[in-house]
Amino acid sequence: MVDLSVRIAGVEFPNPVIAASGTYGNGECYTDLYPLSKLGGISCKGMTIEPKLGNPPPRIAETYSGILNSVGLQNIGVHGFIEYYLPTLKEEGNVIIANVAGAVIDDYIAAAEALDETDVDMIELNISCPNVKQGGASWGVSCEGAGSVTSAVRRATKKPLIVKLTPNVTDITEIAKAVEAEGADCISLINTLLGMRIDINSHRPILKNNTGGLSGPAVFPVAVRMVYQCYKAVNIPIIGMGGISVWEDAIEMMLAGATAIQMGTAIFNDPYSPLKVIEGIEEYMDRNNIKSLTEIIGQVKPW
């Protein structure tokens, strides 16, 4: 029997496949398809301290091997999540990761404090949000910004802390090292790449927000490269994501250095894809006489 479990910051995951934030809602649309406990965990819909309507439509656009989105963190707020979604998720028996976002540091602090005494297992910081006090640049594009929000949330909660990194930077390893130094227990990467599509008939951007985040298979090689670089740069676990669609992708990401993986866009095409990936990982381990995933994490052999 192979051991699919992984451990991150003291939290035990039954398998390494986690539903990525923003693509799985809070699990409510999938309970009729299969028990959510079959997943390694769920990173819940990104939430802000107050409810948010998100951006005006159109806010989804297809592109080759992926999608662009500018949903804008539509959510019912942290307290709505705690009241309406968390009890049901806990009954499902999942590892629950609460993904939080904010425009100013106080937003992140308030969200973390509200979640601190709840049953969520971990908090994941979305630092790809605009920092309104710094001209709208993402928190995650500078070591100072990423470090400051990580430090503030670290002081506000006892929960294990994941920091989700944006790829829209010059050197991902410097950001990874900055959040590790400020108390991150784990990093997750990559968030979406900034992209754009234009309607050639109207001459207008397809998305009302003009630009959006690119996800899906098109970004997978970028994600593998960044996970590989960060694995060599930090000493905390990594959750890899970005275009993972099949079990081979998951193995590749773990060889690059990921302890676990998140799946997002693939679920839109096939809601059963996470279960297929779990099954594929197990069969791969069995064929290759791999007893534990620790035997392959970070085991790529560079030329």
**Rounded distance between C-alpha atoms, residue 180 and residue 9, angstroms:** 13
**Does 143 qualify as catalytic in the annotation?**
no
What's the pLDDT score for residue 94?
87
What's the pLDDT score for residue 131?
65
Condensed to tens digits (0 to 9), the pLDDT of residues 23-71 reads 999 999 999 999 999 999 999 999 999 999 999 999 999 999 999 999 9
**Rounded distance between C-alpha atoms, residue 21 and residue 215, angstroms:** 12
Please choose, from the candidates 92, 94, 90, 95, the residue with its C-alpha nearest in 3D space to the C-alpha of residue 9: 95
Condensed to tens digits (0 to 9), the pLDDT of residues 205-259 reads 999 999 999 999 999 999 999 999 999 999 999 999 999 999 999 999 999 999 9
Condensed to tens digits (0 to 9), the pLDDT of residues 125-153 reads 999 887 667 666 789 999 999 999 999 99
DSSP single-letter state for residue 81: I
Q: Considering the candidates 29, 44, 129, 186, report the single residue annotated as catalytic.
A: 129
Exposed/middle/buried for residue 106 (C-beta within 10 Å: 0-12, 13-18, 19+): exposed
What's the pLDDT score for residue 137?
75
**Rounded distance between C-alpha atoms, residue 303 and residue 51, angstroms:** 50
Condensed to tens digits (0 to 9), the pLDDT of residues 80-102 reads 999 999 999 999 988 999 999 99
What's the pLDDT score for residue 136?
67
Residue spans of the domains in the chain: they are 6-295
Condensed to tens digits (0 to 9), the pLDDT of residues 283-302 reads 999 999 999 999 999 999 99
Q: What is the mean pLDDT of the chain?
A: 96
Contacts of 15 (CB under 8 A, 6+ apart): 4, 5, 6, 39, 40, 278, 281
What's the pLDDT score for residue 56?
94
Please choose, from the candidates 273, 303, 301, 264, the residue with its C-alpha nearest in 3D space to the C-alpha of residue 23: 264
Which of these CATH numbers, 1.10.3210.10, 2.60.120.680, 3.40.50.1110, 3.20.20.70, describes 6-295?
3.20.20.70
User: pTM of whole model > 0.85?
Assistant: yes
Condensed to tens digits (0 to 9), the pLDDT of residues 257-286 reads 999 999 999 999 999 999 999 999 999 999
Exposed/middle/buried for residue 203 (C-beta within 10 Å: 0-12, 13-18, 19+): exposed
What's the pLDDT score for residue 273?
98
